Structure 1
Amino acid sequence: MFKTLLVFLLTTLSYSQVHTITGVVSDDTNKPLESANVIAKPLQEKASLKFAIADNKGRYRLELEKEVKYEITVSYISFIEEVFILEPNASVLTHDFKLKPSGEQLKEIVIKHEFKPILIKKDTLIFDVKSFANGNERKMKEILEKLPGVEVDKNGGVTVQGKKVTRMLVEGKSFFGGGSKLAVENIPADALDKIEVIDNFNEVGFMKQVSDSDDLAMNVKLKVDKKKFVFGDVEAGAEVGNADNGFYLGHAALFYYAPKTNLSVIADMNNIGKRMFTYSDLMRFGGGMSSFLSGRKSLTNLYSFANDNADVVENRSQFGAVNFSYDASPKLAISGFGIFSKVITASRTESANEYLNNSSIAFENKLQEASNQSVLGIGNIKLDYSPTKKEKWYYNAQYQSSTNDLISTINSITNINSSLFETISKADNTSVKQYVEWHKSYNPHHTTTLVVNQAYDNNKPQNNWFADQPFLSGLIPLEDDLTYTVTQVKKVKTNSVDALFKHYWIINDFNHLYTNVGNNFSTSHLETASKQLITDGSINDFTSAGFGNNVKYQLNDAYVGIEYKFRVGKLTSKPGLYLHWYRLLTTQSAIENTLSKTLFQPQWDIDYEFNKSETLRLMYKLENGFPEVSQLANQFSLQNYNLVYKGNALLQNEKYHSASLIYSKMNMYRGVNWNGMLRYNKKVNTIRNEIQLDGINQFSTPVLTDNPETTYSANGSFTKRIYRFSLRLNSRLSWFNYSQTLNSVTTTNDRTSQNVGILFKTAYRKWPDFSVGYNKGYNQFSGITKSNFQTDALTAAGDITFFKFWTYKFEYENLKNTNNNNQSNFYDIANTSLRYQKKNSPFGFELSINNLFDNNVKNDYSFSDYLISERKTFILPRVFMFSISYKL
């Protein structure tokens, strides 16, 4: 290992054999040709092709090998290619290209070479995979990490030039609902031919010029020999070294792509905390909503199926997914997916809590142990019908069913007494979601869209609390008993119907007018009942003490809106004004409350394009939010062992302003990439919970106040390519100012955080992949008290191939937490693996070690309006795993 690293370090210092050539690409009038493609093709074996893209001033930069002869070709839309031959060891440092018009209006740049590393259209980047891969990559994720401007985070999220990929496609069709994690971690690297990145993506081609989509899609083009056969891989692994723990891993990813039929199957079972998808991916699966109404709040909470299962002491998960598409005819396509997930976990946490009263502090040491079983099934089918090239219909239907069974034990020791609580919870949830979309283009100037969306949810959670002594004294009406058992049943049924009609009028190339008419109608029925089960068999019903809710809720939002989009030079502006008629009706305890409001909601989007690689965008919106049914339920309900909640039937709407400023710049000539975002949110009318705190016991109720809440946030990144390395700087800043009422005293609170980081990694495919990073974080709270904590995070990762067939990988994280008393805790986690696979062999063998240092816990600090907590989370032990994979 030491020798390998030494060779790597020596290699990084020996870059004197590089010949850098620069120049300018322009037309015959000396006008710079921005984004011109510059390709350097080696004219001898064992040398790699090089490429560059001209910046907004037409400048390009190529780093070539001195001993190699190159044919440098420049291409640009509607211009004749120009070729320059660079001899080996040439002393040429600069060369300018002047292209002559071809007289033809080409739709794209065509490079007449065997390799096309990167192809540029108006809104599309196309990467040729073989120009970036070295052949040792296993999965799509490893390919993406080598594409310029593309990054993949540890959760499988993909960003391109700082913008997040929101839709994942394979051969132009949605892959498992469009989520990225299942694609990047399962599609074999050797199946990839090209990667297309499509900005302002829209499924309906003729809607692209009017829909103003913010979606960034990534489309995977497969190799020709992968389009008619089954391909993929299977893997099986078992613990070695300490088989007493019984750790195992089984995984399969199989794909079949043909001109009319596509089928993908992914299956996984393991007990090492490896999760198959992120929460954002799962919300995409469970969304079941038209993208034209994607701003609506989801009714379903699926977080327990996608949280971080690694921070547990036991984990067993089973996952299966099927994705299919079938072209029934040239006009009709059928697609869909099915998801099954079963997760069984056991967790253990220790917390030292300080509850901050206005005049005193209560201390609590809490040990919590929990076991949870979650089962989820999702079925989704979508019909895509195109009667003509200018008309499109979609119908999508989805069914979900889930159960959550939780057993939790809490040992709470305070400065007054100690208590033992046990919670047994069971939740059965079902939902049905469907929508219809219709799009029609009548002529080049008029297009219409109609969307109808329906969603139904039925949730039935049931909670049982057991205690060895009375709890929540004064808040719940307990009768004396030997032990204490409280049960609560909750039923929530929600249904919503959303309709939108939109007309697009293209007046000319510089002026568009969009008209919107819509209505959203939602109903909810909330029922809760709480009671104490006495040891002698009698029942102490809490209804007479103000517990138990029966609320019927209706909210109707009818609206009309107009948006005017115009372009002046490099500036594109789209102001909009919406008029909403809201009517909220609630019925509880035979009393009806009605709230009707007519509200104007303006919005404005402004885009300024300095050039093709530098943009600035400003967005502003005024919105109103109405309370949910649980916030309006005016009877008491028990939330957990130390919290009672009561809604407020008199709540009205919140009003808030939101604005954001986004800047992006990419300059391949200088090897620089800038991305930055500023956000501002201000709530004028705010719904916030008032808290009554007695020791650790809490009573909470929401109130509407005129106290504003203001949030400022900023984040940015700067990436610079330095020779064959990449340097990345990033920062995140935030400030949240709000008022909180605690025990009838209102204080002004400030929460602030700052985070800065640096990452240095190799960026040359012939070298080992290596990265090292450092992040420094600060968090402050000022309110009832002042508190702060700091974090120091050091990360490192490496991927080294040696002796052709061996690949060694490692990743390391060291996190240190320091509180305002200058007390520190830390943990470090390391994972490593060694893999052997011959290039043309279907078999691969891998020895991996998770949690190499056998750490037992993770530590962290946190604070809220009235609570400061130091938490210790127990995690899975060290796992030695030997696995065998077979590639089809």
Structure 2
Amino acid sequence: MLRILLFLIFTTFSYSQSRTITGVVSDDTNKPLESANVIAKPLQEKASLKFAIADNKGRYRLELEKEVKYEITVSYISFIEEVFILEANAAVTTHDFKLKATGEQLDEIVIKHDFKPIIIKKDTLIFDVKSFAKGNERKMKEILEKLPGVEVDKNGGVTVQGKKVTKMLVEGKSFFGGGSKLAVENIPADALDKIEVIDNFNEVGFMKQVSDSDDLAMNVKLKEDKKKFVFGDVEAGAEIGTADNGFYLAHAALFYYAPKTNVSVIADGNNIGKRTFTFDDLTRFGGGMSTFLSGRKSLTNLYSFAGDNRDVVQNKSQFGAFNISHDFSPKLAVSGFSIFSKVLTASKTESTNEYLQNSAIAFENKLQDGDNRTMLGIGNVKLDYSPNKKEKWYYNGQYQSSTNDLINTINSTTNLNTSLFETISKADNTSIKQYVEWHKSYNEHHTTTLVVNQAYDNNKPINNWFTDQTFLAGLIPLQQDDTYTVTQIKKVKTNSIDALFKHYWILNNFNHIYTNVGNNFATSHLETANRQLLTDGTINDFASGGFNNNVKYQLNDAYVGIEYKFRVGKFTSKPGLYLHWYHLSTTQSTIGNSLTKSLLQPQWDIDYEFNKSETLNFTYKLKNDFPEVSQLANQFDLQNYNLVYKGNALLQNEKYHSAMLRYSKYNLYQGVTYNATASYLKKVKAFRNEITLDGINQFSSPILTDNPETTYGIRGYFTKRIYRFSLKLNTRFNWFSYSQTLNAITTLNDRTSQNVGLVFKTAYKKWPDFSVGYNKGFSQFSGLTSSKYETDAFTSSAQIDFLKFWNFKIDYENLKNTDDRDQSNFYDIMNASIRYQKKNSPFGFEMFVNNVFDNKTKNDFSFSDYVISERTTYVLPRVWMLSISYKL
């Protein structure tokens, strides 16, 4: 009640100290000037500059301080700016502006003010950082969170007006391959001058009007004194308090920027569960492929290297990254990065599983302990060569190597017996990827692109299972022994070469024709060997029982396609039709299979632009996917202590329709943002695993079924600025309907989920940052049985500056899970920190605590086609740390 009372008093007081002025910006024919900049400059000290952007009707709204005299200036490209003086005690609440054209077409407009807070161009938003920063921010992330329409999630992902940033640039150059987390959590806030958000981004300037890129790029412009300067910071921390867990933290982020050479070095080591990059960043780093051929799947598994992970009992990570770019001449630039990551985690989980078997249920209590050691190294180099303004060459080469060593112990107790399994796995993976791109614009009507992409993957996992009794009876040919040791060696080599030639023909400003000719060729070689090592030294090879695979695989996809893009008024449409010739061949066990198909694949992309800040987009594609080598391997393969898998050599292609409708609106006058997406996916022919279940033992094999699978999804959010607060409503609904065959009986399954969330936070830089949110989720499953659960999540956070140099942060989350028997479990976690740093001092001191309540476990529910689980996960204990940072 006290918080609410203080809130109401503070709000009432704030309202009494402000005044609002509205109006319309138009030309001398009364045509509204959308996106005109309206800037109110205070003509006295201790008052802040205010700004607004006119909406599609030319309307603007300014929230001004009372008893302050303002100079209000309106500017618009190719128009003469107009100035209006608002006196301190004036009773004016509305004022319209009519701008006169200069008669010249200008690329940009120069005004007498030092900066514009926001500039909106056709595909670009430009934020002036000092308009939004308080001055106490440490990292880029804290700046971005204050920009209207910009959000940063806990994994470092950035979205702008609901669209995800896919490319991160600094001074126009890719920052560590374009990953966002490394940028937002390491670039110092005081180095930032402007943030540019570029939609439909393309690295090649003359390709922008024809490439139809869906990328959203964020370009960081540095302050002038940072453009030839070494800057960054270092930090070191150690555990304090009575506990002796040996927690530590060390971090360094150093940057050198000059007109021709940029160097970035990031290093990190800690054992508090903090990772330096996300899986999205890793897939970008490890992609090594041209964006024109992004459909190729990567077989390398890098999940263990990414994302904060405190849901473990131990987590040690070491990370190093080096990024460099140098312009040798105006025509040639070379850039490269290297990544090193080493992670050690220890985990512990307890779970209760119910295995559904048509007419019976098997129960299992499982205790699992894991020790995982992973190491990753990536080296990447890129050459950018521009012989002239109308031609561009790229070469990109990457080498990647990783190891993954796992020791896993499972204690499984069922209604029939108790068994102990130990798994020791070791995987060595190597990858080499490279591509060449050539782009040339012959004239204003004709442009061509040629891309050749090559990728090689060599994965060699080795698995060993140890147990004290027989397992998977009837599924694996075990021989009687005192103890049981089963070993598996798997080798997968994959090589692909993809090529694409594309011609862009611009008939006029409203009609384009794009022609495509390409070929994708891939080969794979899969070898597996499963055997039992007996205590007397002999070997029981499982080959006699139908195990062990040796498969050679080739898939060639040759295609031609044509796309026609036309524009009528605000409506842009691009239908396309592709003809693919697929040839799939496999050889295994002296038996060969081949498949040849010619398939038409239509697609359609439609855009409707209501105005510059309101758009509607629809996309549709018909696709065909062919099976991978493991799905075609027709011999048995041991995959887990309770799972045997066998591929199907007769699989053909699955076929599916995908469609998406996206609506986006951003209106600064109304202070609202809308973003909604509806998606639809229907598989006419689908790969689906048939399951045979006996107790907890499973046998799985894929089939191509004609039973359709349908997925619907709706997600969206709405934000509203209410005076100096921001309200956000987000929703997500999903429905998945499919058929599942279990023990020779096929059932229709439905999985549905609904999620609604509300967040309320302050949006005024003179106030403390405070937010509170509530999220309600529902999940349902119906098939062999019906199951459901609910989640209630309450979140809050605050950041307060006090006594000039002190900053206090706190965040809290409370999560409640409830199953269909009204059984609930709870989990809440709080983190807090207090920091001291004088304004002009390079030294900063921070004390923080993670997991304030010292929770030992967290709980959750889940379900699949035939398993319902309740899981308890052991987490890192309370962490008390004291750190010292030094800013260069």
**TM range, normalised to the smaller chain?**
over 0.9
In 2, the alpha carbon distance for the partners of 1:5 and 1:190 equals 35
Mapped contact 1:687–1:704 kept (Cα < 8 A)? yes
- Within 5 Å, give how 1:80-479 maps onto structure 2: 80-479=80-479
Deviations 1:11-37 (A, max 9, x none): 333121111000011111111111111
Distance 2:295 2:775 in 1: 33
Would you say the 8 A contact 2:155–2:308 is kept in 1? no
Q: Which residue of 1 aligns with 2:651?
A: 651
| Distance in 2 between residues matched to 1:719 and 1:67, nearest whole Å | 31
Alpha-carbon contact 2:843-2:886 (below 8 Å) kept: yes
User: Could you tell me which residue of structure 1 aligns to residue 12 of structure 2?
Assistant: 13
Tell me the secondary structure at the aligned position of residue 286 of structure 2.
helix
CA contact (8 A) 1:108 1:121 kept: no
Q: Measure how far apart 1:10 and its partner are.
A: 4.0
Asked if the contact 1:503–1:515 (Cα under 8 Å) also holds between the matched residues in 2, the reply is yes
Provide, for residues 659-694 of structure 1, a one-character-per-residue CA deviation record: whole Å limited to 9, x for no partner.
Answer: 000000111111010000000000000110000000
How is 1:806-821 mapped onto 2 (pairs within 5 angstroms)? Answer: 806-821=806-821
SS in structure 2 at match of 1:206: helix
Q: SS at 1:245's partner residue? A: coil
* Aligned-pair CA distance for 1:9: 6.3
Q: Runs of 5+ in structure 2 lacking a partner?
A: none
Distance (Å, rounded) in 2 between the aligned partners of 1:874 and 1:538? 40
Aligned twin of 2:674: 674
Give the aligned partner of residue 563 of structure 1: 563
Q: Secondary structure at the match of 2:682?
A: strand
1:5 is displaced (CA, Å) by: 10
The answer to whether residue 720 in structure 2 is matched with residue 717 in structure 1 is: no
Which residue of structure 1 lines up, in the alignment, with residue 792 of structure 2?
792
Following TM superposition, by how much is the alpha carbon of 1:462 offset from its aligned partner in structure 2, in angstroms?
0.2
Q: Does the 8 Å contact 2:155/2:307 carry over to 1?
A: no
CA distance in 1, matches of 2:112, 2:634: 72
Q: Is the 8 A contact 1:234 1:252 kept in 2?
A: yes
Say if 1:109 and 1:119, in contact at 8 Å, map to a contact too. Answer: no
What is the deviation of 1:3?
10
For 1:702, the equivalent position in structure 2 comes to 702
TM-superposed CA distance for 1:123, in Å, is 1.1
Q: CA deviation at 1:459?
A: 0.3
Asked if the contact 1:109–1:121 (Cα under 8 Å) also holds between the matched residues in 2, the reply is no
What displacement does 1:108 show? 2.7
Partner of 1:726: 726
Question: What corresponds to 1:749 in structure 2?
Answer: 749
For residues 562-581 of structure 1, what are the structure 2 equivalents within 5 Å? Answer: 562-581=562-581
CA distance in 1, matches of 2:25, 2:884: 51
CA separation in 1, counterparts of 2:257 and 2:41? 33
Distance 2:479 2:209 in 1: 68
2:860 counterpart of 1:860: yes
Q: Contact 1:758–1:774 (CA<8 Å) still a contact in 2? A: yes
- Paired with 2:28 and 2:518, the residues of 1 have a C-alpha distance of 53
Aligned alpha-carbon RMSD (Å) = 1.1
**TM-score, normalised relative to structure 2:** 0.99
Equivalent residues of 2:78, 2:103 under 8 A apart: yes
Q: Distance in 1 between matches of 2:220 and 2:390?
A: 26
State the one-letter code of the partner of 1:642.
Answer: N
Preserved CA contact (<8 Å) 1:191 1:226: yes
Aligned mates of 1:597, 1:531 — CA distance in 2: 38
Q: Distance in 2 between matches of 1:413 and 1:308?
A: 32
C-alpha distance in structure 1 between counterparts of 2:738 and 2:429, whole Å: 35
The 3-state SS of whatever aligns with 1:137 is coil
1:57 equivalent to 2:57? Answer yes
Give the whole-Å Cα distance in 2 for the aligned partners of 1:285 and 1:579.
Answer: 32
User: Does the 8 Å contact 1:805/1:838 carry over to 2?
Assistant: yes
Amino acid at match of 1:275: R
| Conserved 8 A contact 2:277-2:307 | no
Post-superposition offset of 1:857: 0.8
- Residue of structure 2 in register with 1:491 after alignment: 491
Distance in 2 (alpha carbons) for counterparts of 1:8 and 1:844: 31
Q: Cα distance, 1:620 vs. partner? A: 0.2
- SS at 1:14 equivalent: helix
Does 1:685 pair with 2:685? yes
Q: 1:518-563 deviations in whole A, cap 9, x for unaligned?
A: 0000000000000001011111110000000000000000000000
Amino acid at match of 2:11: T
In 1, the alpha carbon distance for the partners of 2:308 and 2:355 equals 27
Once the 2 structures are TM-superposed, how far is the Cα of residue 624 of structure 1 from its aligned partner? 0.1
Q: Which shows bigger deviation, 75-84 or 456-465?
A: 75-84
8 Å contact kept, 1:372–1:404: yes
Distance apart, 1:110 and its partner CA: 3.3
Counterpart amino acid of 1:11?
A: F
Contact 2:472 2:642 in 1 (8 A): yes
Partner of 2:547: 547
The 8 Å contact of residues 347 and 371 in structure 1, kept in 2 or not, is answered as yes
Contact between 2:842 and 2:886, CA under 8 Å: does it hold in 1?
yes
CA deviation map 1:205-224 (0-9, x unaligned): 00000000001100000111
Any conservation in 2 of the 1:75–1:110 contact (CA below 8 Å)? no
Q: Which residue of 1 is the match for residue 624 of structure 2?
A: 624
**Correspondence 1:604-623 to 2 at 5 A:** 604-623=604-623
- What is aligned with 1:633? 633
- Secondary structure (helix, strand or coil) at the match of 2:79 reads coil
* SS of structure 2 residue aligned to 1:100: strand
Check whether the contact 1:126–1:194 (CA below 8 A) recurs between aligned residues. Answer: yes
Cα deviations across residues 213-236 of structure 1 (Å, max 9, x unaligned)?
001100000111111121000000
| Aligned equivalents of 1:465, 1:439: Cα separation in 2 | 53
1:555-594 deviation per Cα after TM superposition (whole angstroms, max 9, x unaligned): 0000000000000000000000000000000000111100
**Are 1:512 and 2:518 an aligned pair?**
no
**1:867 partner amino acid:** V
Amino acid at match of 1:12: T
| Alignment check: 8 A CA contact 2:38 2:54 kept | yes
Residue 115 of structure 1, CA deviation: 2.6
Paired residues of 1:66 and 1:90 also in contact (CA < 8 A): no
Residue type matched to 1:287 in 2? G
Separation in 2, partners of 1:681, 1:113: 51
C-alpha separation in 2, matches of 1:120 and 1:868:
51
CA contact (8 A) 1:239 1:881 kept: yes
Residues 458-517 of structure 1 deviation map (CA, whole Å, 9 limit, x = unaligned): 000000000111000000011111111000000000000000000000000000000000
- Distance, in Å, in 1 between the alignment partners of 2:4 and 2:379 is 49
Name the aligned partner's letter for residue 336 of structure 1. Answer: G
Rounded Cα–Cα distance in structure 1 between residues aligned with 2:140 and 2:8: 28
Checking the alignment, whether the CA contact within 8 Å between 2:487 and 2:533 is kept in structure 1 is yes
Distance 1:363 1:194 in 2: 59
Residue identity over aligned pairs, in percent, reads 81
| Alignment-mate amino acid for residue 570 of structure 1 | K
Residues 770 and 268 (structure 1), Cα distance of their counterparts in 2 relative to 1, 3 Å cut: same
Separation in 2, partners of 1:851, 1:612: 45
Contact 1:67 1:88 in 2 (8 A): yes
Distance across 1 between alignment mates of 2:374 and 2:691 = 32
1:760 alignment counterpart: 760
C-alpha distance in structure 1 between counterparts of 2:624 and 2:525, whole Å: 23
SS in 2 for 1:186: coil
Post-superposition CA distance 1:332-369 (Å, at most 9, x none): 00001000000000000000000000010000000000
1:265/1:734 CA distance change after superposition, 3 Å: same
- Residue 296 of structure 1 deviates from its aligned partner by 2.1
Quote the offset at 1:307 in angstroms.
4.7
CA distance in 2, matches of 1:67, 1:115: 24
